[in-house]
Structure 1
Amino acid sequence: MAGKFGFRFLYGDQPLQLYFYAVPHLCLNLMGYWPDMLDALQQRALFHFVVLGVGVATEIHAGLQFAQNGEISLALETFCPAGTSAVTLLKMYLMLRYRNDLFNVLANLRQMLFDGASQSDEKQKIMRKHLLMASRFNFWPLSAGFFTCTMYNLKPLILALLQYWGQAEQIKWDMPFNMTMPSFLLHAPLFPVTYIFIAYTGYVTIFMFGGCDTFYFEFCVHIATLCNFLEVDIRALFRPYDGLQQMDDLRGTLFVGCLVRLIKRQNDIIELTAFFRQRYWIITLAHFLSASMVIAFSIVELMINGGNGLGTLLYIGYTVAALSQLFIYCYGGTLVAENSLHLATVMSSCPWHICQPRHRRYIMLFIMRSQRALTMAVPFFSPSLVTFAAILQTSGSIIALAKSFQ
């Protein structure tokens, strides 16, 4: 590990505990929203809530003014970040409201993943593969969002610099995001302070949605890991009885005791998934609605300002960031569904016919329950790669329609 620095969770040779919720902890702890059992709110959590609240209110007001004046391009340019920030504000509230419940989710996951994991090299390999994948996947939407926000913040400075190099008679200074601000804040000596404040609201949005969304994806990855652990234990359960034609009473008693413990673990996974889904369904639904709106606005804006190189780069980055967020929600839902369904396949492929008839009923019930996939469903839809493909298809249709009117 010598010579490695920075984001250690991106490397594959770190301790397993280091990967556990690495990116969500980085983002949410920085903003003061990491779930814990403390009843007192952290000051930086309240500070960032107020900062973003001011940003959302002034941004929406500016967007409405542009729309009323018929400045559609500026209105779309304003509503894109405003919609994301407004949903982020909702996420901040819900993370505070459910912080104790989410802390319990973390505690249960940690116990189920790491207790006894050292007993099996196979389980450690599974865990390392999934934890490293979660850290790297989670880092991508955070990086894409950070790039987009930085482009928003640098765009006015770059344009002013180009005007200076072009020896313009008067340099026009704009803000990173369109917000309604008192006029005295937009002139010297307070202009730099206002610029920094507006730029900072963008980074609050980035780290909050990065933390909330990656928290969801990491939970899905860990549920998939626990299902894989069950698969390993199911195969290990039948291994001592290879070659038997029929279990006797003593072996049958030992077998059914181990099987009942596996069934209880499956029940724990199902209950934990339902518990988390109930706390996160508003965030999931709101995110899909806002991301769909942002993608639509970005596509229209790209059609309008297709000749503006900097504007094109900005909205391409925005669209990539929005699609990255949607992808981790959809991929997370697919991981949970597919790995929970695979339990039925694993159990049915084992030599369950050697069990005594009264014990086979337990196995049949396990298989029947596993055939009903665990889902991260919210009202109206269930996040999955099928849903993501449908969103991409719809986006492509919008682009084709928009081009036909050019």
Structure 2
Amino acid sequence: MLRFLGLGWWHHPDEGDTRNFPGWYLPYSILTQVVWVAGFVGLETIDPFIGSKEDVDRFMFSLSFVITHDLTLIKLYLFFFRNKEIQDIARTIEIEVYDYYQNKDKIISTIRITKIMTSSFVFFGWMAIACSNLNGAFQDFKWRAAVKQLTENETRPERTLAQPIYIPWNFQGEGSYVATFILEAAGLLWTGHIVMFIDTFIGSVILHMSNQFSILQEAFETFIDRVAEELMNGNPQKALLQGVSIDDVIIVLKSHYHEKDIEDALESKMLSCIKQHQLLIRCVEKFSRTYSYGFLTQLLSSMAAICVVMVQVSNDASSFKSISLATSLAFFFAMIIQLAIQCITGNELTLQARGVADAVGRSSWHVLPPRLRRALALVVLRAQRPLTLSAAGFANMNIACFLSIVKAAYSYYAVLSQQKQT
């Protein structure tokens, strides 16, 4: 889908192909972004300022889409010009981590969660778009019925489109109206899908990175047991390791292997866990640097859009406009999910990365030689330093940030509501 939307030529990691915009795909990407993003979003942006401001509902609904789509241009820029970095991050999660300890059940569970997360956001996004088009068709049916009641001398009311957008040509005729309606619906679907799939993709990447830290915790907790199992594999006395303490396990190992061989095996397994930890840290830090302005964009657009949509929802609820209310509610939930996806997954990433220090503490580190204990101590010190996703240094993507944005949006909504009443 990202490839279809013109957001880079996403290869399967096994292909070993790093081209981002090969051959004719580059003109295709430029054409689609100029037509649907620069063109459609540009006309959409003009409407609230030069269009009719007498209809408050039209103005507020138009403004909510303008805020969302305009600030999404920064995300589009990141995907277009930082595509290689993002694909490198995806490759790390998809390929490179499999050189180390993995838990397939946890990975499958994470994939299931990302599918639920994506489908919920896409569902409410489609609901908002579908209800908007349905409301536009319903308003046009009302316009047709009203026109039939007019006499030849009476002036016909202006025909409106489903989505408030500035149209530089006359679309009042039947043929031109249908063509403009289709053009607007296609533009809304295209830009809407860019928003939905960029955000769900980013949320999925964050969730998979946090899952890898959870798997790393398991790797540190079990690396001594795994060394013992590997050393005793095929040994008739392997059953002696079942149900005994780790100290007794080391005694059993020492009765069959030289102490230097045991230490080398423990060191090799521990270094594999440390390398996995360093790989994940580099991946997260690279992701944070690459997409920091995307996170900042998300916070600004969500705060403004949620505030505007709340005003729209209250207006529709008070006037009992069922289709408009359904559209506003669907868009409101889509905006909430859009913000929650990145804040909640970012919070989970920080918690799981910090949990590596606890996992080392839960391991049987006391049976290790002093030299290996010192290496684990360095792992604990690094894991205790918070690993966060920053919105260009202004805020960290976590649950506290999510609640702050929602509270700020509600505060602005309360101020706007009071001004409207006065």
Residue 98 in 1 paired to residue 82 in 2? yes
Q: How do 1:296-311 and structure 2 match up within 5 A?
A: 296-305=307-316, 306-307=318-319, 308-311=321-324
Contact 1:344 1:370 in 2 (8 A): yes
Residue 133 in 1 paired to residue 113 in 2? yes
Q: Which has the larger radius of gyration?
A: 2
Matching residue's letter, 2:216: L
Matching residue's letter, 1:278: R
* Number of aligned positions between the proteins: 375
The structural deviation recorded for 1:293 is: 0.9
2:378: which partner in 1?
365
Contact 2:100 2:273 in 1 (8 A): no
Q: Structure 1 length as normaliser, TM-score?
A: 0.84
In the alignment, which of 38, 45, 54 is matched to residue 60 of structure 1? 45
1:20: which partner in 2?
none
2:405: which partner in 1?
391
Question: Distance in 2 between the 1:395 and 1:296 partners?
Answer: 5
**What SS does structure 2 have at the residue aligned with 1:297?**
helix
**What SS does structure 2 have at the residue aligned with 1:183?**
coil
The 3 A distance-change label for structure 1 pair 271 and 304 is same
2:192: which partner in 1?
206
The structural deviation recorded for 1:311 is: 2.1
In the alignment, which of 62, 66, 85 is matched to residue 82 of structure 1? 66
Q: How do 1:149-298 and structure 2 match up within 5 A?
A: 149-164=129-144, 168-169=149-150, 173-239=159-225, 240=227, 242-244=246-248, 248-298=259-309
2:334: which partner in 1?
321
The 3 A distance-change label for structure 1 pair 387 and 35 is farther
The structural deviation recorded for 1:183 is: 3.2
**What SS does structure 2 have at the residue aligned with 1:292?**
helix
The structural deviation recorded for 1:32 is: 2.4
Matching residue's letter, 1:388: F
The structural deviation recorded for 1:61 is: 1.6
**What SS does structure 1 have at the residue aligned with 2:386?**
coil
Listed one character per residue, the Cα deviations across residues 88-140 of structure 1 (whole Å, up to 9, x for unaligned) are: 333222211012222222222211355577xx7xx111111111111111121
The 3 A distance-change label for structure 1 pair 113 and 261 is closer
**What SS does structure 2 have at the residue aligned with 1:310?**
helix
Question: Distance in 2 between the 1:39 and 1:59 partners?
Answer: 28
Two-structure CA RMSD over aligned residues (Å): 2.6
The 3 A distance-change label for structure 1 pair 96 and 139 is same
**What SS does structure 2 have at the residue aligned with 1:179?**
coil
Matching residue's letter, 1:84: T
1:8: which partner in 2?
none
Q: Percentage identity across aligned positions? A: 16
The 3 A distance-change label for structure 1 pair 35 and 341 is farther
Gap regions ≥5 residues in structure 1: 1-25
Q: Structure 2 length as normaliser, TM-score?
A: 0.81
The structural deviation recorded for 1:402 is: 5.5
The structural deviation recorded for 1:280 is: 1.1
The structural deviation recorded for 1:267 is: 0.6
Contact 1:376 1:383 in 2 (8 A): yes
Contact 2:354 2:384 in 1 (8 A): yes
